[in-house]
Every structure is written in structure tokens, then in C-alpha cells.
Structure 1
Amino acid sequence: MLEQPAKGYRAGVDPVLMASAVQAQAGQSVLELGCGAGAAILCLATRVAGLHLHAVEVQARYANLCRANAASNGFDAQIWTADVGALPHDLTALTFDHVIANPPYLDRKSGKHSELPDRDIAFGGDTDTKIWIETATRRLKPKGWLTLIHKADRLPELMRAMDERLGSLSVIPITGREGRSADRIIVHARKGGRTPFKLHAPVSLHVGPTHLTDGEDYRPEIAAILRTGAAFPFPD
């Protein structure tokens, strides 16, 4: 159960999809950058028991919500109120098996500003993509995994922000329906990874090329993620 504001930024399916794609195991540590009210990290913690949870959120209102949501769901999580580009010393002293992030989607150079400040920060933000990737890279343990979800058209920017410390890059395109262009991507990269780049087959969220009737028409694998906390169905 996730408490979110009645007005302002609220999580949709993207953080849930990202959480389902994190291949974490019990006993490992996870840091989420930009956690909002906690949708991604708490979905991950629900699916994989025994994780050591940390998260960073720049907006105090949402950081407090994340703390409350973690407590109400019975999770012990350390939530830091800080900017991704200026983490507190106690956090920079730690490294993690997994870093996850759902960075702001809108490009400040071309996107419009929202009239609601919290939505504006969540969707646009003031922190450059390079800083998100640099912060994530520094906080990963050797052989640790970075998992991101982002807009598909931001993939070149994400790849330019990564340097030789990150490898084993794989990209899963996400499309609303079969035959449509991808509008989201899930990205995995490993610190110190050396396997070749892999572009997976697209994963569509809904059944069929068009919406034919009223009601939900998620593909069974996607419905299982959203309704029962299943793991992501990785394509070949």
C-alpha cells in the first residue's frame, strides 16, 4: 500500500516495471536515486525479501512519504533527503549491489515546466543526466548492477553519460502495443562488466495492436507484474 499526494506527482507503472526488472537477491543492498514516495524500491522489497534498502529523494515531502510508506509496509529502509548530485558524506561512504533510478523524463532544453513544483521536479528536475549516471556509478560495488527506466529517445544521452566503468550494457525496449515504436526502455549496466552490448526484442504492455473493448488488456506477463509482483519477463 502506497500513500501518495492527492495532487502533484504520483507514480504510474514505470517504477513498478523497473522494480520487476532488478535481479536482486536476499541479503543484497539496493540504493534508489530519486525515490519519490517509494513505489519502485518498496515494490522491489515486496518481491525480494531480505534486502538492505536505501533511497535518496530531494523533495522533503516525498522523502517523508517514502519513510512512512516503508514503515507502514513493514520495511526497514534508510531514506536520505538530498540531491542526487550532492549526497551526504555518510551515504558516499557506502556502496551497493544494485542502484536503481527512474530519472526525470523531460529534457529541460525542450520540455515545458509544470505549474505544480513537485511534478516539475519529478518530470524535469535540475540535475543533468551525467550526474545521475556518475552518482550511480560511484555508489555501485564492483560487479554491481545499475537498472534504469527512461524514455526511449533519451537512450543516446544515457549511453554518452556512461564511461568505461560500466559495461555489460543491455536495453529492453518497452512499447504500448505490438507493432508500435518503443516509448520506454529498461537499461541494465554492470560496474566492471565486459560482456557485449545487447539490444533485446521489444516487450509490449498490452494485448493486440489496438484497444478494442473497455477494461484492462495488459498482457498476462505484465498483469502479473502489476497485480501480483512477478519478475519481469526478460526477452531473448
Structure 2
Amino acid sequence: MKTTTDKFLDGRIAAKQPINGYRAATDPVLLAASVDISLGRRVLDVGCGVGVASLCLAARLPDVEISGLEIQDLYARLASQNASANNVNLAVHHGDLNALPIALKDQVFDQVITNPPFHRNKSVSQNAGKALADHETLGLSKWIALSLRRVRPHGYFTIIHMAEVLPDILQALDNCGDIRILPFAPRRGQMANRVLVRARKLSKTPARLLPPFIMHRGKAHDVDGDSYTKQAKKILRDAAPLQI
């Protein structure tokens, strides 16, 4: 299968991705930027794809201990190859969240991060890899519930998803507290189209709705090249952390 090698974090990371399959963009980079090492060093990336979130996390925080779970064998193999090529110690597990590999069944982690399949009603891609990566087959609430089983008591769970499913995310986090909700808006004055939600398992601390993170300058894309805000460039290019 044909792949391209794509760079992230201004070239700090290079990852092979299928030309016609699911291709990582900004979401896994934003997800990686949300991890705070002070909350624990052991991190599980659920649905890790070719490993972009894990690799970006390791580039910023080389002392984290990262594992990845990926249901598609091709993507799991690419994640392992990408980890090796970037000198990242990433333990990639090929398996289903609903039927965990033996190596993960008894493990819990300080932090679990995930960028799950997004689309529910969109027409399914003819590319099998992209279809499985893009479309919910397990159901979001079950995806979150099973991910939370891998979180240690009082550990943290973080998800990035479409803004429209925020009610479903919050409903699935019924045994969590200290929930931080960070909306991402394409431009100032526009509605958020993504949310990043971090929650602490078994916590009773009230939730917080954070100010929106603005991705692009101006009212429209009317310049050559990218139009990312300075804040977005720090995350996407300089491997700066998200403040949550």
C-alpha cells in the first residue's frame, strides 16, 4: 500500500500515512498538547492510528511512558514503524477496545487519551481503512466507558471530538469530575467545531468551560499559506502545551 511521509511539529516528527486511508491532521497534535506530565507519566492512546498523537506527545515530553491501541493491523504496524523511525519508545498493541489484547487487560494508566471515529451519518468511504477510522462502530458512549476502564482511580481521560457530540461525551463521563471543556473555533466569532474534554475519574470537582481556542486569523482564508493564530502555531509548530 502506498504511503506518504508527513511532518508534524515543524518537522520534529515524521510519520508514514496511507495515501488513501485515514490521515492524521491537527486533532492528534492538539490532543497530544493537552497531556500534562504532572498528572502521571503512564499514558494510553486509544485508537492511536499511525501514532501521530503519541509521537507528538513524546517529542514534547520524552519522559512519558506511552502505549497505543489500534484495531487496524496496517495502522498498528505503521505506528510501530513510525515510533522506531522517530526514536520513540511506543508500545503499540493491535486489538479491539471491546476485546483487549492480553497485554492490556490488567493494565491501568495515569492518563488515557483518544481521538475516536467522528462520523455517524456521513456516507461511508469506499476505502476500508478510512471508513473504519472515520465512522463509529462501537458507539461513542461505549468507547468512552471502555476507555475509562483503563484509567486508574483518580486518573485522567481526555478526548477530542466534534462539538456537536459534547452532550454525549458529558453523559458518558457520569463517574468523573474536574471536567475541563475547551472549544476550538476556526475563527473569532465563529462557532466551535471541535471540543477537547478532560475529566478526572471519581472526582467530585465541578466542571469548567474554558474560553474558546481560536485556530485561524481573520474572517476568512484570504492569504497564501496557513493563517494559524500565534497561539495555534505555538501548539502545532513549536510543541507548546495546551493550557487546560
Fold shared by both chains (TM-score > 0.5): yes
Match of 2:49 in 1: 36
Return 5+ residue gaps in structure 2 as ranges.
1-13
Deviation per residue, 1:137-161 (Å, 9 max, x gap) = 1111122111110000011111222
Shift of 1:36: 0.4
Q: Kindly report which structure 2 residues correspond to 1:146-161, keeping only aligned pairs within 5 A, or say none.
A: 146-161=157-172
Match of 1:162 in 2: 173
Structure 1 stretch displaced more, 224-233 or 64-73:
224-233
Count of matched residue pairs: 231
From 61, 64, 71, the counterpart of 2:84:
71
Question: Is the 8 Å Cα contact of residues 19 and 41 (structure 1) preserved in structure 2?
Answer: yes
From 208, 211, 217, the counterpart of 1:201:
211
From 88, 94, 98, the counterpart of 2:101:
88
Match of 1:103 in 2: 116
From 129, 137, 159, the counterpart of 2:140:
129
Distance 2:241 2:89 in 1: 22
Structure 1 stretch displaced more, 147-156 or 82-91:
82-91
Distance 1:157 1:184 in 2: 14
Against the structure 1 CA distance between its residues 26 and 146, is the aligned structure 2 distance closer, same or farther, given a 3 Å change threshold? closer
**SS of 1:97 mapped into structure 2:** strand
Question: Is the 8 Å Cα contact of residues 102 and 149 (structure 1) preserved in structure 2?
Answer: yes
Question: Is the 8 Å Cα contact of residues 26 and 48 (structure 1) preserved in structure 2?
Answer: no
From 22, 46, 51, the counterpart of 2:64:
51
Match of 2:74 in 1: 61
Distance 1:233 1:95 in 2: 25
**SS of 2:167 mapped into structure 1:** helix
**SS of 1:143 mapped into structure 2:** strand
Distance 1:34 1:4 in 2: 15
Displacement over 3 Å in runs of 4+ = none
Distance 2:185 2:57 in 1: 22
Distance 2:69 2:166 in 1: 23
Shift of 1:76: 1.6
Residue identity (%): 37
Match of 1:175 in 2: 185
Shift of 1:27: 6.9
With the length of structure 1 as denominator, give the TM-score of the two structures: 0.94
Question: Is the 8 Å Cα contact of residues 34 and 101 (structure 1) preserved in structure 2?
Answer: yes
Shift of 1:75: 1.5
Distance 1:129 1:37 in 2: 21
Backbone CA RMSD of aligned residues: 1.4
Question: Is the 8 Å Cα contact of residues 168 and 193 (structure 1) preserved in structure 2?
Answer: yes
Partner amino acid, structure 1, of 2:85:
S
Deviation per residue, 1:20-63 (Å, 9 max, x gap) = 11112497100011000001011011101111111100000000
- The structure in which a higher percent of residues are strand is 2
**SS of 1:112 mapped into structure 2:** coil
Question: Is the 8 Å Cα contact of residues 39 and 155 (structure 2) preserved in structure 1?
Answer: no
Return 5+ residue gaps in structure 1 as ranges.
none
Shift of 1:8: 1.2
Question: Is the 8 Å Cα contact of residues 26 and 49 (structure 1) preserved in structure 2?
Answer: no
From 205, 213, 217, the counterpart of 2:223:
213
Distance 1:183 1:155 in 2: 11
